[in-house]
């Protein structure tokens, strides 16, 4: 039998072993390897944890390997765990691959017992400290390992203080604490039916298992679901020699960052607390010292720390987040990791590190994410404005929203209808709140996280939302919400920041994003305007964004186009860096004033009448396309022929039925309405998404597609004659069979030839198809015979592959599905690689087998989703197309995708089917 | 360059070369090979035709090869084509792989010209015959090859008769015909600007090309579309020495069958016409002689013919259809082929041939088709009843329907509503006729064929239809239809036979099918009852069906189950031979009286209220399942958990809106309606098919699936205790992801364990899933982890793969799609192998990779479709499930599938992806 290595001493591992040792363990090992002053210890692997979670008991070998590691540790430090003389004490901490702050267990001071506490008194020379440490162990161990309710200990502590007549713990002396230890031991015995374990090794083993178990607590599972961390990773356990920052004025503890993680400002940054332990810094009870103050208090330790910080940043080549403790003048490093940072800081720090020649531009690009760029592109609350924080929740859907508070959907609709922006505040939302959510400018809930109904629906709508603001008490009966002392009433103004999760009282001024300013106006203008306003830091962010976007453009293989339906959108898209239009939806051109024209086509009683109505539309369509092609001069412009079912251009059936019925009741029947209703009934479909639309319309309504093709051809001819470089592409929607496309192509070719001849301009306009039906993907090798390009409509393809319509199901059950783990993310947000992705892969490979120069792209919403873009890159698509606003994000991620997947052409014709 | 062989002499080919030589050519070659008296000749291949059709000119080699074949022919018969002495004349006939009667061209007497006609006069000794033959050539050649309108020749002929004062052609003498030849030649010159070609070889070549061209005439294309013959086959051209049946009383021509193709009665059958050519037999101008009469007229030829018939039947081992000519006492065989026959004859002849030891039972099974069995299973008009044929059209959708004639949809609905069966008669139908079609018992149109709107929709509804009865003039304004002299008015009774395409005046009595009688009552009873009624022939049909069905059961690998929702259907299915239930739809159990119970579940205001309502349903559901499991004792019974969206159990939204609005208008609002409307609005979906249904309901409505699982478990336990052998299987609908199934399985397992314990019965109930979403098929290797069986819901899978809903699109554009060739058959009738079939194949292979003993079946409507069954067999499914009525058809076809595909396990894990 091969025995797995389940225990690694800190000196044995390194930072690349996060899978096995967890993040904390890997970094402790790395610092040890660097020779930094890390208290000795060892890490029990995630593999041991997974074994325990699967089988319900620890692996046999674990006990043996822990004994070996512990003996070695004891020999190195020259002390024995829980000895009565100068005892070795250890901390037992969880440490998973991904940080899950506050989710799992920690037990400090393991090794203390009735005998070793005496040894600690002697060794530390501080009786109060030793008994307090013992008291803390029993309390923490009782709660965490033995499952005693924390309140029992709390009550005893309060009683002790009351007996003594003091208010704080620190006023209890050694004697008081000694008594308290006895009381705590009784509590353990009473609650668990067994004595607090005096055997130090038993303490260690039980603490280890309890860390393992803490992986599967409800809140840990919930956290992982929210953060999309897999449930099967398990946690490592770090056993580390205890060092104490609370041994008097020459001791202390602190956290520091090698750069400012909030703004990205260069220069170190941190807090130090004299005579304290780590928990005290985080809890924020006492005021902390800055690093400059620390330099004065303990110059030697400060100098050593600064050297280590520099060393770590050079070694990790990134912003480091460090925890340290000084025990009687001796500096110890307790933890380090690459530090989290804001989006703005991410861009600034990445480019700073390039300038300091610590990383390459490629690496800098890998350090920033599309999601961060997206955050920087949302409108923000004016940073200069006064603000009063009401509460804080999860940043569920980004943006800055201001509105009057309402507590129910009906009020939201009513107020919004009369033009008042509202913020809908609910404990949680459900499908019945949908209309209110649509009406609101922002959504705030006190329960649920990033996968709650409110969050899922808000993101789907692109609406600002803060969810799970747990300190908020929502009382929808009294129409009030309380956070601490503050009560907000219906009609009060709130400002919610969906990017940070912050909720402010009153109306904060919203300013456009400086990054958007830069994209719209160019770098120089934006920087000048920011510097004028004194925002040098923000100017620096904009410069960093520009550098990294420019670099992404240089390295990426995927082209980025935009979805734009008119010249204004196209202009905007071009400014955002779009290299063409991937989807122009022509149906929007028939709304407004032109609706009557298309209505006439639909209601025509004869083919002659219909032809006349269609003819009337040609000049207007031609103008549309001339404008578009002018905006996009020199760039490919993909125009989709009419897609929606015709009844979408007519009034709603139910409303019309009611109108006619009520009119009949009144004896005031309008003949036009009756005629209209007949047409609406004729075109009525039970499932319009699966009905007569797209190419099916083109093949059953004579002249409809011809009108559009003619307008495109005439517009192109007109642009050519005007000296332009129009590059229209005709896209046929909803094709399921190659024959459909052949038929449309025959019709289109004839018209193009006719217009070419008439205008005296040689037009070659590529014709391609959407791939938005599973059958299209499955028969792509046939469809490619008639298509010069494929554009994956991943939105519709997701709907047909899964058999659900976004409109119907997102609000109805996506929250439940996310909660139950059926989805880890909505397949409308991020492409479902296993199902929809497989179809894309099949279609791309097999389509290219038929037509090697087939151009392939995506024009569904996934075209702007960072995760999906990496998949599209790997699959070998030629371009993505997304809303103009997401173009910069797609550019950035397309660049990052190259770095993540240097060898992109892994698919060959000989690939066997996966699965 | 390899030169293809483009010309085959009759002596070079054989009957297996139908692809290359066409049906007629291959059989002429076969008869030649057998040494039968076939006039010598040669066949120009389909390959030459395809070359011509693709490139627009004949292959260079064709000319050369024709020369060689022609010389060889001339040498054999010792005559030269178009010689002035004893000229060789040839016929030039089309002959495609599949017979297309009357669709393509024929030119007789090729080789006649101004000189050779003189030779023919001398050789035949019949001046009138020779000049008539020349006259016919010019007329036929002029029309067919040179495109002169036939009327020009007809007018000249009429003028000649008028000049002479006679009524018929035969009264014209040689002199008249000689004049007519000159006139015909002038007509050709006038209409074409060139002389009638005198060069015999030029005649032959032009006739050949014109046969090629006739492949692509509109009516040929239309015919092929209707008959589902591919457009790219092309036709062969047969060049055959002319023999003449019109050379006096010792000449004649006939057709015969080696058995009766109408009834399958043993014994030969045929017609003979003295002194006539083939066309005269077909046109039925003169009365023909029976074969017995022929024996008296020309005993020697008769004896030779009978020997040849016996020889051919022995050789072809099947009913042969033969054309022959006697030229001055010498018998010539002009054509033979395996004869078409009625469904009843097919079964009888196949078993007769087995009894005569000409074929094996396996072969007999290959000779009959499920579609024929289906025809025999429809109710039929009483064969004994008097009948008056009004007209004949295409058998578009089988069955026998009687009703009053109506000419518009509204009348159909009105009359049907008051209980009167109607036959809707239209020129053609369109989507606006849909309601009338639903209301009618039968549909009759005068235009369009098997792929017309009327035919497609009628088949989709399972409604009797005759389409394209072209002799019928439909006048919907006057509300009358005329066929010849007869006029039918609105309200008159018509009987239409969708199995034969016949339309009868008045009301014919409808009798149940004798085959159904046999299936329901058993062979002995059915035969006895038929014999009692004097229907010995029909009894023989029933015996034949029984033998072949029994044989099919013996050889087939696919199991056949039925879709049945209640015990009555299950009983019927069992009688039809079903080996289990593949789909029991539980939603039907909540209709009628129980609708209020499920309504209470839906409208529940609290989870407690909902639980109570669900509990109330358990006993009723348990009873349902006890009944079903009793019927199906010992056989697998797959029960599908609730599938439809809940709003299907509530009133229609639009109607309710109108009701509430009108009530408001009247000031009489019903609070219950308002509450109901609120619920309906809450559950409203724009695309219910893509909404909250199936497993999604199970995961969002707590307790709903649990109720059904509990009822199934309790019913099974009760049956076990009663000594039964219940074999329920639980099927989860609409699964798209394995996680959904895991969650339902966890819930179900708990309930099964609970009921097992409570009832003291050890229940193992398999749990599986529908595969009806593309994603389910694409991730089948995952889904199989949690599924013991897959049942392909090919109806829904077709809808999602193609992205259309049958309800919405079948009437809207399927006819157009069939007409334009996008479909060759509706994908709801016969499985779309390229798209949906590929998903089935992926799912079956990859599912079995995960779970080798995975059971797989089909429960969509395709389970009863003959063509699809062969695909399911090849794909390696375990069973099909179809409506009880189609079970015998599926049994038959499953047997035939084995014979057609002896090596069924061609797919292995190493198969690479197709495409």
Q: Which pLDDT score, from 0 to 100, does residue B167 have?
A: 86
Q: Which pLDDT score, from 0 to 100, does residue B910 have?
A: 32
Query: Which residue is it, tokens 């050079």?
Result: A314
Helices marked H in A452-535 — which ranges? 453-461, 514-521, 523-532
A393 touches chain B (CB under 8 A): no
Q: Which pLDDT score, from 0 to 100, does residue A904 have?
A: 35
Spell A366-401 as b/e; 16+ CB within 10 A means b: bbbbbebbbbbbbbbbeeeeebeebbbbbbbbbbbb
Which entry of A49, A240, A256, A859 is annotated as an active-site residue? A859
The answer to whether B701 and B609 have CB atoms below 8 angstroms apart is no
The answer to whether A904 and A874 have CB atoms below 8 angstroms apart is yes
pLDDT of A912 higher than 70: no
Burial class (CB in 10 A: 0-12, 13-18, 19+), A267: exposed
Q: Which pLDDT score, from 0 to 100, does residue B284 have?
A: 52
The closest CB to that of A773, out of B431, B666, B803, belongs to B803
Q: Of how many residues is chain B composed? A: 915
- pLDDT category at A230 given cuts 50, 70, 90 is confident
Q: Which pLDDT score, from 0 to 100, does residue A286 have?
A: 66
Least confident of B419-423, B452-456, B894-898: B452-456
The number of C-beta contacts closer than 8 angstroms across A and B is: 214
Question: pTM surpassing 0.95?
Answer: no
Q: Which pLDDT score, from 0 to 100, does residue A453 have?
A: 82
Least confident of A822-826, B415-419, B760-764: A822-826
CB spacing of A808 vs B687 below 8 angstroms: yes
Locate the DSSP E strands across B700-833: 727-732, 767-771, 789-792
Phi, psi of B295 (to 5 degrees): -55, -35
- pLDDT (tens digit per residue) in B715-760: 999 999 999 999 999 999 999 999 999 999 999 999 999 999 999 9
Instruction: Identify from B661, B745, B804 which residue to disrupt to test chain A contact, counting A C-beta atoms within 10 A and taking the largest count.
Output: B804
pLDDT of A282 higher than 70: no
**B 102-141 residues with CB below 8 A of A?**
none
CB spacing of A821 vs B739 below 8 angstroms: yes
The answer to whether A648 and A689 have CB atoms below 8 angstroms apart is no
pLDDT (mean) for B366-393:
91
pLDDT of A583 higher than 50: yes
- pLDDT category at A309 given cuts 50, 70, 90 is very high
Beta partners for residue A237, in sequence order:
A44, A94
Residue B681 C-alpha, separation from nearest chain A C-alpha, in angstroms:
10
Element (H, E) at B738: helix B738-759
Residue of B nearest to A743 (CA): B820
In angstroms, the CA A175 to CA A666 distance is: 92
pLDDT of A283 higher than 60: no
Least confident of A113-122, B58-67, B591-600, B852-861: B591-600
The answer to whether B370 and B459 have CB atoms below 8 angstroms apart is no
Residue B824 C-alpha, separation from nearest chain A C-alpha, in angstroms:
11
- Residue B225 Cα distances to A613, A623, A788, angstroms: 33, 42, 29
- pLDDT category at B263 given cuts 50, 70, 90 is confident
Please work out, in degrees rounded to the nearest 5, the angle formed at the alpha carbon of residue A375 by the alpha carbons of A372 and A381: 145
When mean pLDDT is compared over A420-429, A443-452, A765-774, A905-914, the highest value belongs to: A765-774
Q: Which pLDDT score, from 0 to 100, does residue B902 have?
A: 47
Burial class (CB in 10 A: 0-12, 13-18, 19+), B607: exposed
Helix then strand then coil, in percent of chain A rounded to 5, is 50, 15, 30
Structure tokens at A115: 């005998």
HEC profile of A255-307: EEECCCCCCCCCCCEEEEEECCCHHHHHHCCCCCEEHHHHHHHCHHHHHHHHH
CB spacing of A804 vs B696 below 8 angstroms: yes
The closest CB to that of B743, out of A658, A688, A820, belongs to A820
pLDDT of B911 higher than 60: no
In angstroms, the CA B256 to CA B289 distance is: 11
Which entry of A49, A256, A453, A467 is annotated as an active-site residue? A453
Q: Which pLDDT score, from 0 to 100, does residue B285 have?
A: 56
pLDDT (mean) for B274-295:
77
Residue A823 C-alpha, separation from nearest chain B C-alpha, in angstroms:
8
- pLDDT category at B430 given cuts 50, 70, 90 is confident
Residue A740 C-alpha, separation from nearest chain B C-alpha, in angstroms:
6
In angstroms, the CA B122 to CA B117 distance is: 9
The gap from C-alpha B449 to its chain's centroid, in whole angstroms, comes to 12
Residue of B nearest to A797 (CA): B803
Least confident of A538-552, B237-251, B580-594, B786-800: B580-594
- pLDDT category at B915 given cuts 50, 70, 90 is very low
Q: Which pLDDT score, from 0 to 100, does residue A596 have?
A: 84
Least confident of A432-446, A708-722, B193-207, B589-603: B589-603
The answer to whether B43 and B10 have CB atoms below 8 angstroms apart is yes
In angstroms, the CA B107 to CA B144 distance is: 8
A821 touches chain B (CB under 8 A): yes
Locate the DSSP E strands across A382-452: 389-392, 394-397, 400-406, 422-426, 442-445
| Torsional sign, CA A427, A429, A433, A438 | positive
Question: What is the Cβ-side half-sphere exposure of residue A145, based on CA atoms within 13 angstroms?
Answer: 24
- pLDDT (tens digit per residue) in A233-247: 999 999 999 999 999
**B 610-669 residues with CB below 8 A of A?**
653-654, 657-658, 661-662, 665-666
Residue of B nearest to A815 (CA): B700
Beta partners for residue A581, in sequence order:
A562, A637
Percent of chain A at pLDDT > 90 equals 75
Phi, psi of B140 (to 5 degrees): -65, -45
- pLDDT (tens digit per residue) in B782-811: 999 999 999 999 999 999 999 999 888 887
- How, if at all, do strands B106-110 and A636-640 pair? unpaired
Q: Which pLDDT score, from 0 to 100, does residue A342 have?
A: 87
- pLDDT (tens digit per residue) in A9-18: 999 999 999 9
Residue of A nearest to B912 (CA): A912
**B 675-734 residues with CB below 8 A of A?**
682, 685-692, 696, 699-700, 734
CB spacing of A802 vs B665 below 8 angstroms: no
HEC profile of B515-569: HHHHHHHCHHHHHHHHHHCCCHHHHHHHHHHHHHHHHHHHHCCCEEEEECCCHHH
The answer to whether B731 and B640 have CB atoms below 8 angstroms apart is yes
A810 touches chain B (CB under 8 A): no
Structure tokens at B905: 């396990």
What does the mean pLDDT of chain B come to?
91
- Which chain B residues touch A436 with a CB distance below 8 Å? none
Least confident of A43-47, A142-146, A460-464, A715-719: A460-464
**B 340-379 residues with CB below 8 A of A?**
none
pLDDT of A19 higher than 60: yes
- Residue A377 Cα distances to A370, A532, B16, B762, angstroms: 10, 21, 73, 62
Q: Which residues contact B377 (CB under 8 A, 6 or more apart)?
A: B513, B515, B516, B519, B885, B888, B889
pLDDT of B253 higher than 70: yes
pLDDT of A223 higher than 80: no
Coil, helix or strand at residue A882: strand
Residue of B nearest to A813 (CA): B700
**A 666-685 residues with CB below 8 A of B?**
666, 682, 685
Structure tokens at B472: 């019928």
**A 744-783 residues with CB below 8 A of B?**
772-775, 778-779, 781-782
When mean pLDDT is compared over A214-223, A840-849, B221-230, the highest value belongs to: A840-849
Structure tokens at B524: 């002995």
Phi, psi of A410 (to 5 degrees): -60, -45
In angstroms, the CA B69 to CA B81 distance is: 12
Q: Which pLDDT score, from 0 to 100, does residue A768 have?
A: 98
The answer to whether A561 and A860 have CB atoms below 8 angstroms apart is no
Q: What distance, in Å, lies between the first and last C-alpha atoms of chain A?
A: 31
pLDDT (mean) for B610-617:
92
How many CB atoms lie under 10 A from the CB of residue B400? 25
pLDDT of A61 higher than 80: yes
- pLDDT category at B589 given cuts 50, 70, 90 is confident
Residue A203's closest CA among A165, A146, A250? A146
CB spacing of A813 vs B699 below 8 angstroms: yes
Looking at per-residue pLDDT, the higher value among B869 and B224 belongs to B869
Sheet holding A41-44, edge to edge: A7-9, A41-44, A235-241, A90-96, A106-110
In angstroms, the CA A358 to CA A370 distance is: 23
Q: Which pLDDT score, from 0 to 100, does residue A280 have?
A: 67
Burial class (CB in 10 A: 0-12, 13-18, 19+), B630: middle
Residue B833 C-alpha, separation from nearest chain A C-alpha, in angstroms:
11
- Which chain A residues touch B913 with a CB distance below 8 Å? 842, 911-913
pLDDT of B761 higher than 50: yes
Phi, psi of B195 (to 5 degrees): -75, 155
- pLDDT category at A470 given cuts 50, 70, 90 is confident
A98 touches chain B (CB under 8 A): no
pLDDT of A123 higher than 50: yes
Query: Which residue is it, tokens 């047409």?
Result: A679
Locate the DSSP E strands across B59-126: 90-96, 106-110
- Which chain A residues touch B832 with a CB distance below 8 Å? 775
pLDDT of B332 higher than 80: yes
pLDDT (mean) for A600-614:
90
- pLDDT category at B286 given cuts 50, 70, 90 is low
Coil, helix or strand at residue A79: coil
- How, if at all, do strands B493-497 and B502-505 pair? antiparallel
- pLDDT (tens digit per residue) in A834-853: 999 999 999 999 999 999 99
What does the mean pLDDT of chain A come to?
91
Query: Which residue is it, tokens 């409108």?
Result: A379
The gap from C-alpha B902 to its chain's centroid, in whole angstroms, comes to 24
- pLDDT category at B2 given cuts 50, 70, 90 is low
Sheet holding B330-338, edge to edge: B289-290, B269-274, B252-257, B320-327, B330-338
Q: Which pLDDT score, from 0 to 100, does residue B100 have?
A: 81
B413 touches chain A (CB under 8 A): no
Percent of chain A at pLDDT > 70 equals 97
Spell A570-588 as b/e; 16+ CB within 10 A means b: bbbbbebbbbbbbbbbbbe
- pLDDT category at A901 given cuts 50, 70, 90 is low
């Amino acid at each position: 039998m091969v025995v797995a290595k389940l225990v690694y001493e800190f000196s044995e591992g390194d930072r690349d072993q996060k899978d096995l040792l967890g993040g904390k363990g890997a970094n402790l090992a790395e610092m040890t390897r660097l020779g930094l002053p890390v208290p000795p210890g060892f890490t029990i692997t995630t593999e041991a944890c997974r074994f325990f979670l699967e089988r319900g008991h620890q692996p046999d070998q674990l006990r043996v390997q822990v004994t070996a590691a512990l003996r070695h540790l004891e020999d190195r430090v020259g002390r024995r765990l829980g000895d009565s003389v100068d005892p070795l004490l250890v901390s037992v901490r969880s440490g998973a691959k991904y940080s899950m702050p506050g989710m799992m267990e920690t037990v400090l001071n393991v090794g203390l017992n009735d005998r070793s506490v005496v040894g600690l008194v002697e060794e530390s020379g501080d009786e109060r400290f030793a008994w307090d440490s013992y008291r803390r162990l029993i309390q923490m161990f009782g709660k965490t390992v033995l499952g005693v309710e924390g309140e029992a200990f709390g009550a005893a502590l309060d009683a002790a203080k009351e007996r003594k007549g003091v208010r704080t713990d620190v006023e209890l002396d050694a004697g008081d604490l000694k008594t308290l230890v006895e009381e705590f031991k009784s509590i353990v015995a009473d609650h668990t039916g067994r004595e607090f374990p005096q055997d130090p090794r038993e303490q260690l083993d039980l603490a280890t298992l309890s860390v393992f178990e803490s992986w599967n607590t409800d809140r840990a599972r919930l956290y992982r679901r929210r953060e999309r961390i897999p449930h099967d990773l398990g946690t490592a356990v770090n056993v580390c020699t205890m060092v104490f920052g609370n041994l008097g004025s020459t001791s202390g503890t602190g956290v520091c960052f090698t750069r400012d993680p909030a703004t990205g400002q260069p220069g170190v940054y941190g807090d130090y607390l004299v005579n304290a332990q780590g928990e005290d810094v985080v809890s924020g009870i006492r005021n902390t010292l800055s690093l400059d103050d620390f330099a004065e208090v303990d110059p030697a330790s400060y100098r050593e720390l600064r050297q280590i910080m520099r060393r770590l940043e050079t070694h990790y080549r990134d912003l480091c987040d460090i925890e340290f403790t000084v025990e009687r003048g001796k500096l110890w490093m307790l933890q380090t990791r690459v530090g989290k940072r804001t989006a703005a800081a991410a861009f600034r720090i990445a480019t700073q590190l390039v300038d300091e020649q610590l990383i390459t531009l490629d690496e800098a690009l890998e350090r920033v994410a599309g999601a961060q760029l997206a955050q920087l592109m949302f409108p923000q609350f004016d940073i200069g404005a006064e603000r009063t924080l009401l509460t804080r929740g999860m940043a569920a859907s980004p943006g800055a929203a201001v509105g009057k508070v309402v507590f129910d959907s009906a009020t939201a609709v009513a107020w919004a209808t009369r033009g008042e922006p509202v913020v809908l505040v609910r404990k949680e939302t459900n499908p019945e709140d949908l209309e209110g959510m649509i009406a609101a400018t922002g959504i705030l809930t006190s329960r649920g996280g990033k996968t709650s109904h409110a969050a899922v629906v808000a993101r789907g709508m692109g609406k600002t939302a803060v969810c799970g603001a747990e300190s908020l008490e929502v009382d929808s009966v009294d129409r009030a919400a309380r956070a601490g002392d503050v009560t907000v009433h219906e009609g009060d103004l709130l400002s919610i920041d969906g990017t940070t999760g912050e909720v402010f009282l009153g109306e904060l001024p919203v300013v456009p994003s400086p990054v958007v300013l830069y994209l719209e106006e160019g770098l120089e203008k934006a920087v000048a305007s920011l510097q004028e306003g004194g925002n040098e830091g923000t100017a620096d962010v904009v410069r960093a964004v520009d550098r990294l976007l420019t670099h992404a453009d240089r390295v990426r293989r995927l082209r980025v186009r935009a979805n734009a339906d008119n010249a204004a959108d196209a202009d905007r898209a071009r400014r955002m860096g779009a290299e063409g239009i991937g989807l122009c939806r022509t149906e929007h051109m028939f709304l407004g004033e032109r609706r009557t024209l298309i209505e006439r086509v639909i209601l025509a009683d004869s083919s002659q009448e219909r032809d006349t109505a269609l003819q009337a539309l040609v000049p207007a369509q031609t103008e549309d396309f001339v404008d578009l092609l002018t905006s996009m001069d020199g760039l490919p412009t993909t125009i989709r022929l009419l897609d929606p079912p015709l009844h979408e251009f007519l009034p709603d059936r139910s409303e019309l039925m009611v109108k006619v019925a009520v009119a009949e009741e009144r004896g005031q029947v309008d003949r036009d309405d009756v005629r209209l209703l007949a047409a609406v009934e004729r075109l009525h479909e039970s499932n319009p998404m699966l009905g007569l639309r797209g190419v099916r319309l083109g093949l059953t309504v004579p002249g409809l597609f011809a009108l559009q093709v003619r307008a495109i051809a005439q517009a192109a001819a007109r642009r050519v004659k005007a000296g332009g470089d129009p590059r229209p592409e005709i896209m046929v929607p909803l094709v399921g069979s190659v024959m459909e496309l052949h038929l449309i192509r025959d019709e289109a070719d004839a018209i193009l030839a006719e217009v070419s001849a008439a205008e005296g301009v040689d037009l070659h306009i590529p014709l391609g198809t959407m791939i938005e039906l599973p059958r299209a993907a499955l028969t792509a090798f046939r469809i490619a015979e008639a298509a010069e390009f494929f554009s994956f409509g991943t939105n519709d393809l997701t709907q047909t592959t899964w058999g659900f319509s976004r409109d119907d199901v997102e609000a109805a059950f996506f929250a439940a599905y996310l909660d139950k783990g059926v989805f880890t993310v909505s397949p409308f947000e991020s492409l479902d690689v296993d199902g929809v992705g497989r179809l894309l892969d099949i279609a791309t490979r097999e389509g290219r087998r038929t037509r090697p120069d087939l151009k392939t792209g995506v024009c569904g919403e996934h075209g702007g989703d960072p995760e999906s873009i990496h998949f599209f890159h790997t699959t070998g698509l030629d371009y993505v197309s997304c809303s103009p606003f997401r173009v910069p994000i797609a550019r950035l991620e397309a660049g990052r995708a190259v770095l993540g997947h240097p060898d992109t052409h892994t698919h060959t014709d000989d690939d066997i089917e996966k699965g």
